[in-house]
Amino acid sequence: MKYIFRKPRAVILNDTRRDSNHLGCHLVMKNLQDLCARNGINVIGTIQSKERPRNDDFVTTFLERISRADIVILNGEGSLHHDRGVGLLEQVDLAVQKKKKAFLVNSVWEENPRSKQYLGLFKLSAFRETTSLSIAKADGACGALNVPDLSLYSCFETSHQRTEKIVFTDSVIPDVSKTLEDTAEELQVPLFPMSEQTDNMLTVAAISNAAVVVGGRFHALCLCLSTGTPMLSIESNTHKISALLSDLGVENQKYMFKDAESVCSSSVLAFKQMDHSEFLSNAFDYTVKARAKMEQMFSQIRSLA
């Protein structure tokens, strides 16, 4: 039955603002909710927990929170890899058992032998890069789309004069973060962590004022694409950074360290002197097309709700 007198009501699962300071996660959730609103979907709540719905108290609370919803939208983000997102997918299974339609958006997908059985629950599933899309399709994803990360829906003013500063950020991998920190210290340039309790958190201004950014954060790369800032990356805990660069159409070896051992100050200084015109042109085209894909996807979700 279509919703003639009211908007379909949604609960968003995997609200990644659990890490209260993570810039990328805040942008993703803001844009997810904005896109729902723009397409006539009424978000009545979000759930942060990734817990498996095995505990009676959790199940009772979860069912109460989705009881008024018509649909659930799972924000996959960086959670669905190496079967670490089973709890989220079991939440979706429980929701579907209660006759809620389910949609997966904004997701990585990698090495999920136990999780792939849940892909059939979704009326639509969208993956942030084509590498994840290909793997998910092989694993049985239904209505599978490639729609880039939702943080890219945000537009930023970048008409100011850039500085010549090199800016570093961290990684989700502690050893890589330490290597990046040591290299930044050697170059005597600032390092802005993405998600630690610190006074020098990564900001859009820090990225957009930089000549180049160096680090291991997927959302830092997304923000670099949005602000037209070249970034030299090192891979994270999944294929997400290398896969995004491949979709961008640039040579990965120019924009990525091979491994932590190859991170050094001379490589950073050489990167700063490179011609990045192709990267910047591709980034502009990529983000414009990404925003159009996002709007089309949420329109499709609305029609399927």
What distances in angstroms separate CA 108 from CA 9, 161, 251, one per listed residue?
A: 25, 35, 21
Domain that holds residue 208: 166-287
- pLDDT tens string 24-65: 999 999 999 999 999 999 999 999 999 999 999 999 999 999
* 216, part of any domain: yes
pLDDT at residue 244 greater than cutoff 60: yes
pTM of the shown model: 0.94
In our burial notation (b when 16+ CB lie closer than 10 A, e otherwise), range 127-146 reads bbbebbbbbbeebebeebbb
Q: With the C-alpha atoms ordered 180, 186, 189, 195, is the resulting torsion angle positive or negative?
A: positive
- Claim to verify: residue 173 and residue 108 sit in the same structural domain: no
Number of domains comprising the chain? 2
- Claim to verify: residue 172 and residue 135 sit in the same structural domain: no
- CATH number for the domain including 227? 3.40.50.2000
- pLDDT tens string 208-219: 999 999 999 999
Sheet holding 101-107, edge to edge: 42-47, 9-13, 71-77, 101-107, 122-127, 144-146
Q: Which residue has the tokens 């942030």?
A: 128
* 2, part of any domain: no
- Claim to verify: residue 185 and residue 267 sit in the same structural domain: yes
